[in-house]
Amino acid sequence: APAVAAVAMKARPRYHIAAGQDTFFARLPYANRDMGVGPRITRFVGLGPLAGPAKGLHALALTPSSEMDPDELSVRPDACTPSPLEAAAILHGSKRAGDDITGVNAGDWRFQQGKKPRANHVAINH
Q: How confident is the model at residue 114 (pLDDT cuts 50, 70, 90)?
A: low
The predicted model scores a pTM of 0.62
pLDDT for 36 = 81
Q: How far is CA 10 from CA 17, 85, 112, in A?
A: 16, 11, 23
pLDDT for 41 = 92
3-state secondary structure of 2: helix
Q: How far apart are CA 24 and CA 105, in angstroms?
A: 41
